[in-house]
Amino acid sequence: MNGLEDEFGEEIEFLRLNAAEPENVLLQQTYGLRGHPSVAILDDNGEVAARYFGPQTAETLRGDLTAVIQESEK
């Protein structure tokens, strides 16, 4: 994921889902993911802090990941 797993891997858990797998349908519905690629960034409470559809830059995702980490440290 644009090298972000290496950068944030100790603070953020990254999970990849194959949308074609039936066992992932509930997660897709729960987090409002559709299409490929889709990204949901969850906070410490499992709430969606950011959601993206389509390719995103590392800078965009980095900003949201940093915000989630900072919020969790409060």
What pLDDT is attached to residue 8? 92
The SS3 of residue 20 is: coil
What pLDDT is attached to residue 64? 95
pTM higher than 0.85, yes or no?
A: no
Cis status of the peptide bond prior to 22, with omega within 30 of 0: no
- Compute how many other C-beta atoms are within 10 angstroms of the C-beta atom of residue 33: 20
What pLDDT is attached to residue 2? 64
How does pLDDT run across 6-57, given as a tens digit for each residue? 999 899 999 888 888 888 888 888 888 887 888 999 999 999 999 999 889 9
